[in-house]
Structure 1
Amino acid sequence: MERRPAGDVGTAPARPVPITSAAAARSYVRSLVAEGWRAPSDPASERAVMDLLLVVSELVTNAIRHGGGLAGFEVALLPDAVGLSVHDYSDAVPSAAYGPGTLPLVHEGSGYGWPLIIRLTREIHIERRREGGKTVSVLVPLA
């Protein structure tokens, strides 16, 4: 699984949207994919959309719970994937940020989200924001 900067993933412009919750982010992304990803004769599989929505939920929830709040959310529809960028207010990078996606052996109330993001995305890039905080950008395959 290759991990490279999200800026290298394609030419489709990301659309910043005012999102305040994981549910709002999921709803927005679902509508974008239903309306704009590929032709209606070649829709994304339900499994691919569910994986995408799980990643959306985890990224937004992590920003809210661990990142000091959601500072921004962007979506880019690409030929074979959806690019997501989530901005938060924390400089802290997730531990094992580019690890193998191994789930924790013991559940202690959290710890499953980041490994799931690693498993379900094709690329991850974490960048510190000039104004403070960070941006986590990922590509979620739909093909």
Structure 2
Amino acid sequence: MSPAHRTPVAGPGPEAGGAITSAAAAREHVRGLLREHGRTGGANPDAVIDLLLVVSELVTNAIRHGEGLAGFEAALTERGVRLAVTDNSDTVPAQAYGSGEIPHTSRTGGYGWPLIIRLSESVTVEPRPEGGKTIHVTVPLT
């Protein structure tokens, strides 16, 4: 297993090894992690797409609903990538421990958490003592 790659959420842009401030920057960081450790060639291309979708959903949720992105980490595991996304809200998303069933309503939105659940091997939400929470997921690449 490779060590976690912690990336600050303020400072210079990701191209300079700096901050993750958007879903696009987080996706690029994870792509770079895969390239750096030679995991892009052997990984299932659909699994990489799934991983990047989970990254996008988690970071976007932190920005939109979590009172701002407070931290982002990605680490390689034997089977995939472990992500930790921290935000400033104490509220646990209602669907975080749901079944992963896609909503069958006509309303807009509500698809992110079911996708995260379906594409991840594990999902946990950890409250932070100083406030906010960290969402941990492991996404397989096999």
Calculate the TM-score normalised by the size of structure 1. Answer: 0.86
Q: Which residue of structure 2 aligns with residue 13 of structure 1?
A: 3
Work out whether 1:79 is the aligned partner of 2:78. yes
Secondary structure in 2 aligned to 1:75?
Answer: strand
Secondary structure in 1 aligned to 2:50?
Answer: helix
- Checking the alignment, whether the CA contact within 8 Å between 1:37 and 1:77 is kept in structure 2 is no
Secondary structure in 2 aligned to 1:84?
Answer: strand
Alignment of 1:1-143 (within 5 A): 12-18=2-8, 19-38=20-39, 43-143=42-142
Tell me, in whole angstroms, the C-alpha distance in 1 between the residues paired with 2:46 and 2:21: 25
Report the aligned-residue RMSD. 1.4
Q: Counterpart amino acid of 1:36?
A: H
Calculate the TM-score normalised by the size of structure 2. Answer: 0.87
* Number of positions where the alignment pairs a residue of Structure 1 with one of Structure 2: 131
- In structure 1, the gaps of 5 or more residues are 1-10
Stretches of 4+ moved more than 6 A in 1?
Answer: none
Secondary structure in 2 aligned to 1:101?
Answer: coil
Tell me, in whole angstroms, the C-alpha distance in 2 between the residues paired with 1:79 and 1:20: 28
Tell me, in whole angstroms, the C-alpha distance in 1 between the residues paired with 2:38 and 2:116: 21
